[in-house]
Amino acid sequence: MFKCKTSAEVGGMGHSVKRKEDARFLHGKGNYVDDVKLPGMLTMVMVRSPYAYAKIKSINKEKALAIPGVLAVITGEDLAQYNLHWMPTLLSDTQMVLPTDTVMHQAQEVCAVIATDRYIAVDGAEAVDVQYEPMDPIVDPFKALDKDAPLLRPDKEDQKDNQIYHWERGDRAKTDEVIANADVVVKERIHLPRIHVASIETCGCVASYDKDTEKLVVYLTTQAPHAIRTVVALVAGHVGLSEEKIRIISPDIGGGFGGKVPVYPAYVVAIAATFLIGKPVKWIEDRSENLVNGFARDYHMDCELAATKDGKIQAFKVSTLADHGYTDSSANPSKYPTGMFSICTGSYDYEHAFAELDAVYTNKAPGGVAYRCSFRVTEAVHAIERMVDKLAAKIGKDPALLRLENFIKKEQFPYSSPLGWSYDSGDYEATLKKAMDMLGYDDYKKEQAQKRKEGKLMGIGISTFTEVVGAGPSKDFDILGIAMFDSAEIRVHPTGKALARFGTKSQGQGHETTYAQILAEELGIPYTDIEIDEGDTDTAPYGLGTYASRSTPTAGAAAAIAARKLRDKGKKIAAYLLEVSEEDIEWEVGKYFVKGAPEKSKTIQEVVFAAYTNIPPGMEPGFEATHYYDPPNLTFPNGAYICVVEVEKETGAIDVKRFVAIDDCGNIINPMIVEGQVHGGLTQGIAPAMYEGIEYDDEGNVLNGTFMDYLVPTAVESPHWETGHTITPSPHHPLGAKGVAESPTVGAPPAIANAIIDALAPLGIEHLDIPITPAKVWEAIQAHS
Amino acid sequence: MIPANFTYHKASSLKDAIALAESLGEEAKYMSGGHSLLPMMKLRFATPEHIIDISKIQGLSFIKEEGDLLKIGAMTTQTEMEYSDLLRSKYPIFGDAIKLTADPSVRNVGTLGGNIAHGDAANDQPALMLAMRATVIAEGVDGQKSIPIDEFFHGFYMTALEPTDILVEIHIPKASKHSGGAYHKVERKVGDYATAGVAVYVELDDDGVCREIGIALTNVSAVPMRVDRAEELLRGKKITDDLIGQAGVFASEDCEPTSDLRGSEAYKRSLVDTITKRMLNKALERARQ
Amino acid sequence: MKHEITLTINGQSVTAEVDSRLLLVHFIRENLDLTGTHIGCDTSNCGACTILLNGKSVKSCTYLAVRADGAEITTIEGIAAEGTNHPIQQGFHDQHGLHCGFCTPGMIMRSIDLLNNNPNPTEEEIRWGISGNLCRCTGYNNIVKSIRQAAEEMQKEKETTV
């Protein structure tokens, strides 16, 4: 286990210090985008399409403009004059800012009403008269490639059908051969439905352009302020918005989960509006606008898993159809259109795998948001973990035993996976065994056998997942060509207190505390003496932001290395102050001392003071350092989750009795925060497993676009989570740490699905797609009785 | 989401409110707790020109037994009912329902009268009122009137109330020595409207024979409904497991659910069967205590 | 149409002119600049806008400002003296009951009402008691612990003052 090197007062790694950022939130003093109020600020409200697919025949602004207080109605035609009506997506597709002729999904932005206050703006939006000519939409992605399907994107020159791209990885022929000759093959089509991040704060912005200074300031709900600044400069450079004149401020963010990475059309319209009108413009999404725009998941995966009759896994194949909506706006690294989906071979040691994917256009909202998941890892893990359970059921082997027999062994790391990843570290057997012990696995197996004799439905489900997070090494990972490094800049003031700034942006993860703890660990300066600042592109160093569990793997590493640069400088100063040579100086947390004479020492604070007051001859004054960290590899956190459920035959009701989660995220900076992240991720795991999913009717209407029907779990649905850890440090991360916050979202759904399906197994039920609701369970029971 | 423009009027007395409603005409709506009406106005499903606030009218919030009746004032909030000692000790059916209605903050504002007067078969109190054979007391242009609950619900969001009528009080036959009620609904998550809900109220004589029975359903029909056939089956009999089973079947056959996001028609009918049986047993257990 | 209303907010009397349709949450946030009360859903499902109205937790997104005439309103900004914590705020800090902080004010205001009605709630009662307040970050485990800590603390305070 991890042993703390620092005292509780210093609060370095391993200490569960309380969060430094709490006070403002507890007292209602947080500063979220909707709290920003600027002089003369106007409000923008979007008019949205009631149809999934329609020609716009006309937009009549007259009635809206007649309302006192309505200042402007901005349409696609208006933006077209500045060539701002389309914008590029991160994956080389194009997305409408506002349409000039066709709407492609329900609730697409049609035009914007700018007014002096939000009540008037809403009235204005009601009064805009838009005439549509509805067309038959493509809702089912399996029909998108039909010969008679309408071509959804005739605006794209090379587009002859509705396929966006084909992607594949692995050896198709060899994998097919192994599957054809295997003793046992299990197959399933698995759908991970569209879901929404549904952060409690929706998206929004306040855009403010000053015509005198030519400076654009945008307060924005964004997880990646620097990348957004560059995107704005690229999109709007031709109208005179140059990157040094753009300032993106990401204030407090009320939950991100990936949903605040994309550039939404309304942001661009708000920027255009302030640019044209010269007054600040606020846009805040309401919940129903939020839920029907920007989705996650929506993969239909045809899986095949081959094994020997004893259950030794030999090959895995998965062919996926991905429903991207009308444009591919996935916020993925450029070279990874399917994200890290090729992690789908899982935690198991076998040679052959093949994954392919076809992405198609439909008349649905774009998104492809990496919802609390390092780009499609959730889909990948669900596929392999469901299939491993299906294999266990088929050959009648305990799914825990099957996993233990197939795991990559501790000594095999670094492990080259069949689809090309180099797993850094793990001890999968120890992690699963710890989870089984904590649960009392064998006792539950006995209880289950007894209950089955009584005709009761009880299930135990396991998920032993491997995540891949911390994008990423510059040779492979970029967004719009910008390498996915991240940064830290440390300034230690003369009195020994520090300010550190980062290219990332916390949305609740607790960066103001954990980054301070990393610096406390490295410099011995108490974490309480270190201020952390992020989110303002005018002050923070450039970085790619916070998503994909990348903050600790990238910016956390940058902090450690920048601090080590300072420590090296401090060593020279200490040698000067102690009048010995540098080689004679040793470091222990917070202090330099002379080798063999520990009484001769200087504290870090004394050394820092000297850097400003008693500078060694020839040395550059000051005590500041910056580091841009380009990780050598990704980190591979992993875990073993076990869920126990009981299902009531008459009603299909599902009762989650226990849920044990053991995570291995390497060395832990703040155990309290890590545990909190795991709890939160688990509730976001049970959500799609049992409650959430965006539903469409045949006309492409979203059926559950409010919190009345999009069922975010409350404290009642959320079980009492039981958590624990094993620690296998990352060998390549300077702190031995890995990302963690996404593991539970990735790992929980298959554990829950496996448990429910295991409960139903005596009835002959072999698979159910999530969300597995009581209604769905009841229908399945009827179909099997 | 913001309501369309309207004019707000505060009524200080029933007389005042009714006079206002009469003078403002059809475009006026009463608002008590506002937790049914205001959400519809924010979605602009409802756009009344005038809102008459009746929540400030004094004397409409009470829970008491008087003579043969339990009387509850229309403006009594769900929370007041939840914490009422009288209801907790003698009418636990209210506790069953209220725990499953919306959430505590909504219940702090939402009123019994509003829950009934909205005429929504998805609300929970209508089934309770049907099961307990309540009488609705309303005040209107022509003074007070009593409306038996079976004549109250007319259609989708439609009731026997005239636009100028205000629901002021609910009368329920007082609990007898051997009476008991129970309510349960299956919901997709806590606070949701019912996928299906069943209210049962039973009164036994000293020999354990069913003297009166009420069985009513939530959100499985366009209008809050009573299961007459099941009631007739049980009334005047000693209730056995077989009869309970048959009553469940009748309820599931007679309800009129539609398939929607909450589940298929068949699933809902099956739930009605199961819950009816369970609530009959629970109500009987309480009646026998 | 404008209406003059007078109400008490966090102990201070306020008089204002409001439109009939102005929602209480907007009155609090925009007219009074008390931005600790948040908006999360518009349909009274999420509870981010929860305040105390005459001591009871109420979702201020589903309440007309004009109806608050004469009421006593408490928001997150008014439950403890500047620089100090109400026991529930302390509980959330000690037990890591918040991540992004957006639901936190509503969650705390709801908890005050919960503990008023039930000073010693079980885990089950707490979970049902906050079921009208959504949190997307914490998974609720630590919110439950936060409220338990506050309950114990407030019980102790009561015993020492009696």
B105: nearest CB among C19, C42, C110: C110
Residues B217/B129, Cβ–Cβ less than 8 Å: no
Q: Do B147 and B234 fall into the same domain?
A: no
Q: How many pairs of residues across A and C have Cβ atoms under 8 Å apart? A: 182
Domains and CATH numbers, chain A: 427-469+636-785 (3.30.365.10), 486-629 (3.30.365.10)
* Last residue within a domain, chosen from B148, B173, B198: B173
Q: Which of residues 18-77 of C touch B (CB under 8 A)?
A: 19-21, 23, 42-45, 47, 50, 53, 56-59, 62-64, 66-67, 69
Task: Test A713 with B4 for CB contact under 8 angstroms.
Answer: no
* B230 within 8 A of B250, measured Cβ to Cβ: yes
- The b-or-e profile of A177-190 (16+ CB within 10 A means b, else e) is ebbeebebbbebeb
State the pLDDT at residue A718. Answer: 98
Domain C87-156 has CATH 1.10.150.120: yes
User: At residue C13, what is the residue type?
Assistant: S
Q: From CA B118, how far away is CA B126, in angstroms rounded? A: 10
The mean per-residue pLDDT over the stretch A291-297 comes to: 94
pLDDT band, very low/low/confident/very high, at A127 (cuts 50, 70, 90): very high
Half-sphere exposure of B5 (CA within 13 A, CB side): 11
Q: What CATH number does residue B116 fall under?
A: 3.30.465.10
Q: Which of B105, B106, B190 to mutate to test the interface with C (most CBs of C within 10 A)?
A: B105
| Chain segment A629-652, per-residue pLDDT in tens | 999 999 999 999 999 999 999 999
CA-based Rg of chain B, rounded to a whole angstrom? 19
Closest CA relative to residue A414, chosen from A61, A768, A728: A728
Whether the Cβ atoms of residue A412 and residue A423 lie closer than 8 Å to each other: no
Strands B158-159 and B153-155, by their bridges, are: antiparallel
A676: nearest CB among C40, C99, C130: C99
Q: Is the dihedral of CA A610, A612, A614, A620 positive or negative?
A: positive
User: CB B263 to CB A778 under 8 A?
Assistant: yes
Output the average pLDDT for chain A.
97
What 3-state class would DSSP assign to B86? helix
Locate the chain B residue with the closest alpha carbon to C126: B104
Could you say which of A372, A403, A501, A567 is catalytic?
A372
Whole-number Å distance between alpha carbons of A526 and A516:
8
Q: pLDDT tens for residues A18-48?
A: 999 999 999 999 999 999 999 999 999 999 9
Count of domains observed in chain B: 3
Q: What CATH number corresponds to the domain at position B49?
A: 3.30.43.10
How far apart are alpha carbons C90 and C88 in whole angstroms? Answer: 5
A 281-310 → B contacts, CB under 8 A: 286-288
Same domain, B196 and B269: yes
Q: Are residues B125 and B75 in the same domain?
A: yes
Q: Please report, for chain C, the start and end positions of each structural domain, with discontinuous segments joined by +.
A: 2-78, 87-156
Give the integer Cα–Cα distance in Å for A544 and A227. Answer: 6
Query: What angle is formed at CA A671 by the lines to CA A670 and CA A672, rounded to 5 degrees?
Result: 95
Q: What is the pLDDT of residues C3-59, one digit of tens each?
A: 999 999 999 999 999 999 999 999 999 999 999 999 999 899 999 999 999 999 999
pLDDT tens-digit series, residues B173-228:
999 999 999 999 999 999 999 999 999 999 999 999 999 999 999 999 999 999 99
Q: How confident is the model at residue A1 (pLDDT cuts 50, 70, 90)?
A: low
Q: B188 to chain A: which residues are within 8 Å by CB?
A: 691, 711, 773
Which residue range is the domain that position B157 belongs to?
A: 63-173
Please report which confidence band the pLDDT of residue A249 belongs to, taking 50, 70 and 90 as the band edges. very high
B58 part of a folded domain: no
Q: Report the pLDDT averaged over residues A756-766.
A: 98
Please give the pLDDT value at position A201. 98
Structure confidence at residue A244 (pLDDT): 96
Residue C79 DSSP one-character state: S
CA distance C2 to chain A (A): 14
Burial of B40 per CB tally in 10 Å (0-12, 13-18, 19+): middle
Same domain, B203 and B166: no
C152 to chain A, closest Cα gap in Å: 19
Side chain identity at residue C129, one-letter code: G
**For residues C25 and B134, what is the distance between their CA atoms, to the nearest angstrom?**
37
Asked if C45 is an interface residue toward chain A (Cβ–Cβ < 8 A), one would say yes
Query: Which of C94, C102, C114 is the best mutation test for A, with the most CBs of A within 10 A?
Result: C102
Residue B74 sits in the same domain as residue B156: yes
Per-residue model confidence (pLDDT) at position C42: 87
Rg over CA atoms, chain A: 27
Is residue A203 annotated as a catalytic residue, yes or no?
no
Residues of A in contact with C43 (CB under 8 A): 287, 706-708
Please indicate, yes or no, whether residues B194 and B260 belong to a single structural domain of this protein: yes
Task: Give the C-alpha separation, B103 to A398, whole Å.
Answer: 42
Instruction: Let me know: does A678 contact A663? Beta carbons within 8 Å.
Output: yes
Query: Can you give the CATH number for the domain in which B274 is found?
Result: 3.30.390.50
Catalytic residue of the set A95, A106, A108, A223: A223
- Neighbours of A (≥3 Cβ pairs closer than 8 A)? B, C
Mean pLDDT, residues A138-145 taken together: 98
Q: Is A373 annotated in the active site?
A: yes
Last residue of a domain, one of B173, B199, B230: B173
Partner C contacted by B211 (CB < 8 A): no
In the residue annotation, A4 being an active-site residue is answered as no
Model's pTM, two decimal places?
0.98
| Structure token pair of residue A299 | 């993969």
Residues B158 and B193 in one domain: no
User: Would you call B267 and A711 a contact, using CB atoms and an 8 Å cutoff?
Assistant: no
User: What's the complex ipTM?
Assistant: 0.98
Contact A691 B263 (CB under 8 A): no
Q: Is the peptide bond before A771 cis (omega within 30 degrees of 0)?
A: yes
Predicted confidence at residue A496, as pLDDT, reads 98
What gap in Å lies between CA A754 and CA A759, rounded to an integer? 9
Which run of H or E residues covers position C125? helix C123-129
CB A206 within 8 Å of CB A38: yes
Interface residue A68 vs chain C (CB under 8 A)? no
pLDDT digits (tens, 9 = 90+) for A558-593: 999 999 999 999 999 999 999 999 999 999 999 999
Please check whether residue B1 lies inside any domain of the structure: no
Directed axis angle between helix C104-117 and helix C87-94, to 10°?
A: 120
DSSP 3-state assignment of A125? helix
Share above pLDDT 90 across residues of chain A, in percent, rounded to a whole number: 98
Q: If you average pLDDT over residues A701-720, what whole number do you get?
A: 97
Residue A2 has pLDDT above 80, yes or no: no
Residue B167 has pLDDT above 70, yes or no: yes
CA-based nearest residue in chain A for residue B3? A119
pLDDT for residue A350 is more than 70: yes
What is the rounded CA–CA span in Å between residue B52 and residue B49? 10
Chain A, residues 636-655, CB within 8 A of chain B, namely 650-653
| CB nearest to B190's CB, from A288, A651, A717 | A717
| Distance spanning both ends of chain B, measured CA to CA | 50
Kindly state whether residue B44 falls inside one of the protein's structural domains: yes
Name the nearest CA neighbour of B270 among A652, A10, A515.
A652
C2-78: CATH number:
3.10.20.30
Are residue B76 and residue B113 in the same domain, yes or no?
yes
What is the per-residue pLDDT across A149-203, written as a single tens digit (0 to 9) for each?
999 999 999 999 999 999 999 999 999 999 999 999 999 999 999 999 999 999 9
pLDDT, tens only, C71-123: 999 999 999 999 999 999 999 999 999 999 999 999 999 999 999 999 999 99
Up-side HSE of residue A469: CA atoms within 13 Å toward CB? 32
Distance CA A736, CA A707 (A): 40
Q: Is A169 considered catalytic here? A: no
Nearest partner of B11 among B55, B59, B62, B60, judged by Cα: B55
Tokens matching residue A747: 């790992």
Assess A655–C contact: CB distance below 8 Å, yes or no. Answer: no
Q: Does A28 reach chain C within 8 Å, measured CB to CB?
A: yes
